[in-house]
Structure 1
Amino acid sequence: MSRTVVITGANRGLGLELTRQLLARGDRVIATCRQPALATELARLAAAHPGQLERLPLDVARPESRDAFLAALPPLLGDGRLDLLINNAGVLPSGERFGQMSQDALETSLRTNAIGPFLLAQALAPLLRDGATIANLSSQLGSIARVTRFGTPSYCASKAALNMLGVQLAQALAARSIIVLLLHPGWVQTDMGGPQAPLTPQASAAGLLSVIAAATPAHSGQFLDWQGQPLPW
C-alpha cells in the first residue's frame, strides 16, 4: 500500500538513500533540504519518478523556514494525510575540544538536531493520519549510558535531547496510535560518517525502513538501532 512520506535532509547521504528506497517501494515522497535547487541527485530522482517525488525547501532549525514549509505542504497532500515523517536532517560539528566549546556550537546542534525536529513533528501532527509513524534519526552517541570519553559533546547532547523529546512526543500522540521511534542508523559511509564506516547507506536505509514497517504502538518511544535492537538511554 502506497504511503505519503515527508523526509528531511533528503539531498545527500542517508536521506537521499532513504528517499530512493521509499520511491522504489511505491511511496509518494515529499523530500526536503535547505536548497533543493542545488540538490542534483534529488532532481534526477524527481525526473525518474514524475508525480511521485516533490521537493520543498526546509531548514528545520529556522522557524520561518518551518512556517514556509507548513504553508506549502497542504496543497501537495490534497485530501490525504501523512503516513510517515522521517526526521533525518542533522549536523555534526567537527574539532570540538574541552576548554574551547562555544555557546553557538551547542545551540546550533540543539536547534538542528533536537528542537527543530520536535517542533516540526508538533506542527505536522494535525496532518498525520491516526496510526502514522514519526521516525527520528538519533544516534548511539546520544546514549548517556554508553559515554566512555569526551567527544563531539554538542552532537551527543543534541541526540540525547532528541531522544527525550521523542519520548515526550510518543506520549502526546499515544491516544491517536501514532508511533514515535528513535532510531540509530549505525555508522554509515556518508559525509558525516566518513569512508571508513562499516555500513553502506543502502544497508542502513533498508534496515531502518524494515524497523519502521514492523513497528507497532507498543514500540512507540523506544530507542532502537537499524536492526531493531534496543539501545540503552
Structure 2
Amino acid sequence: MDRHHCLVTGANRGLGLEFVRQLLARGDHVIAACRQPGKATTLNLLAGEHPGRLQVLPLDLADPRSHAALAAEVPLVTDEEPLDLLINNAGVLRGGERFGQVRPSDLDASFHTNAAGPFLLTQALAPQLAEGATVANISSEVGSIALRQEFRTPSYAMGKAAQNMATSLLAQALAPRGIKVVALHPGWVRTDMGGAQAALSAQESVAGLLRVLHPLTLDQSGEFFDWQGQPLPW
C-alpha cells in the first residue's frame, strides 16, 4: 500500500476528525491541525493508537503567522517528504442571522477563516506540496450564487462564495505543478455545525468525499463537486 502524507485542518471534531480517522484507516500519514491540540482529546488518543502516523499540530486559520509556523513544522514531522493531500476543512458558521442585524464582526470572521484562511494557508504550504498533489477546500452549496433562493446565513454564504473563488485561483496558480484544487460540498452532515437533524453521518460524507478525490484529474481542477461527485454551479 502506498502511504501518503496528508494534512487536515479543523481536525479536532466533525468532518475534520472523520477525515483523520478514514485517512489513518487506509494507511496514510496524517498531520491533524487544530487551534488547541492540548484539548483535542480524541485526536491525541488516535495519535497514541497510530504511533508515528498521526501528528497533532497547532493552527489558527485566521492568523497568517500560524500558517507560517505550521509550514515550518511540516517538513520536520514528514521527514522532508512532501504533502500529497491538503484538506482545508476548518471553518466558522454564525447561525440565526437576520437581515438588518448582520454584524460586521461576523462577516469579518467568515472572510478571514472561510476564505482568506484556506487561500493563505495553501499559499504558505505550496512549497511542501508534492508535484501532482491534491488540495480539497471543504465548501458548501450555500456558497453557490446560482443556487441561492433564500436569505440564509449571509456571513457564511459570502465567505464560502469567496472561498470558491480562491479555489479557482489556486487551481490556476498550481496547475503548472500538476496540483489539483477542488471545492467540495460535504452535504448536510450531523456535526456541531450541521446539527442533529442533518441527513448524513460524518462517516458517509467523508467516505464519499474521499471517493471523489481519489480519481481526480488535472482537467477537473478548479471545479465544484458534492460528496457524491456531482458538479455544482458556482
- Provide TM-score, normalisation by structure 1: 0.98
Question: Which runs of 5 or more residues in structure 2 are unaligned?
Answer: none
Counterpart in the other structure of 1:111: 112
Matched with 1:141 is 142
Whole-angstrom CA distance in 2 between matches of 1:232 and 1:153: 18
Residue 57 of structure 1 is matched in structure 2 by 58
Name which of structure 1's ranges 189-198 and 61-70 shifts more when overlaid on structure 2: 61-70
1:77 Cα deviation from its structure 2 partner: 2.0
Separation in 2 of the partners of 1:61 and 1:199? Answer: 28
Q: Distance in 2 between matches of 1:219 and 1:144?
A: 20
Amino acid paired to 2:174: L
The one-letter code sitting in structure 2 at the alignment partner of 1:5 is C
Per-residue deviation, 1:230 = 0.2
DSSP 3-state at the match of 1:73: helix
Cα distance in structure 2, aligned partners of 1:69 and 1:198: 34
RMSD (Å) for aligned C-alpha atoms: 0.8
AA partner of residue 211 (structure 1): V
Following superposition, the deviation at residue 96 of structure 1 comes to 1.0
Task: Look up the match of 1:22.
Answer: 23
Q: Does 1:2 align with 2:3?
A: yes
CA distance in structure 2 between the aligned counterparts of 1:175 and 1:210, rounded to whole angstroms: 25
| Paired residues for 1:25-174 under 5 Å | 25-174=26-175
Provide the C-alpha distance between the structure 1 equivalents of 2:151 and 2:180, rounded to a whole number of angstroms: 33
1:13 aligns with: 14
Distance in 1, matches of 2:199 and 2:216, equals 26
Distance in 1 separating the partners of 2:227 and 2:3 = 22
Q: Secondary structure at the match of 1:168?
A: helix
Alignment identity in percent?
61
Q: Which amino acid aligns with 1:48?
A: E
Query: Counterpart of 1:119 in structure 2: which amino acid?
Result: L
Normalised TM-score (structure 2): 0.98
Aligned amino acid, residue 61 of structure 2: V
Which structure 1 residue ranges, 4+ long, deviate > 2 Å from structure 2?
Answer: none
For 2:121 and 2:96, locate their aligned partners in 1 and report how far apart those are by CA, in whole Å. Answer: 29
Number of paired residues? 233
Q: Which amino acid in the other structure matches residue 133 of structure 2? A: A
Q: How far apart are the structure 1 equivalents of 2:127 and 2:89?
A: 20
Q: Distance in 1 between matches of 2:70 and 2:147?
A: 36
Report which stretch shifted further, 91-100 or 176-185: 91-100
Letter in 2 for 1:200: S
Q: Look up the SS of the partner of 1:2 in the other structure.
A: coil
Structure-1 separation of matches of 2:195 and 2:96: 15
Structure 1 unpaired stretches of 5+: none
Matches of 1:102 and 1:92, distance apart in 2: 13
The 3-state SS of whatever aligns with 1:146 is coil
Q: Residue by residue, what CA displacement relative to the aligned partner does 1:177-204 show, whole Å, maximum 9, x if unpaired?
A: 1000100000000000001001000000
Q: C-alpha separation between the residues in 2 aligned to 1:43 and 1:150? A: 40
CA distance in 2, matches of 1:95, 1:227: 29
SS at 2:85 equivalent: strand
